[in-house]
Amino acid sequence: MLMDYKGKIIFGGYEVTSMNDDELKQQFPRVDYFIKGYAETALN
């Protein structure tokens, strides 16, 4: 179950880039890090 997950949650990509910081925190309160822009590049 996702509620038992203890790791970090990272979101990135177009959807994250198109929202402001307040919207992101409100929509996804359990996310630890947001990567705006090309997330794939940042995680390589």
Report pTM.
0.69
Q: Can you name the residues that pair with 11 across neighbouring β-strands?
A: 34
Which helix (H) or strand (E) is 3 found in, with range?
Answer: none
Other beta carbons within 10 angstroms of residue 31's beta carbon come to 14
Residue 26 resides in a domain = yes
Q: pLDDT tens digits, residue range 16-41?
A: 889 999 999 999 999 999 988 776 66
Predicted local distance difference test score (pLDDT) of residue 8: 92
Residue 1 resides in a domain = no
Q: Which two tokens stand for residue 20?
A: 């402001």
Range of the domain at 18: 12-43
Residue 3 resides in a domain = no
DSSP assignment of 18-44 equals TS-HHHHHHH-TT-SEEE-S-HHHHH-
Residue 27 resides in a domain = yes
Letter for the amino acid at 42?
Answer: A
Predicted local distance difference test score (pLDDT) of residue 6: 86
What total of structural domains would you count in the chain?
A: 1
Predicted local distance difference test score (pLDDT) of residue 2: 61
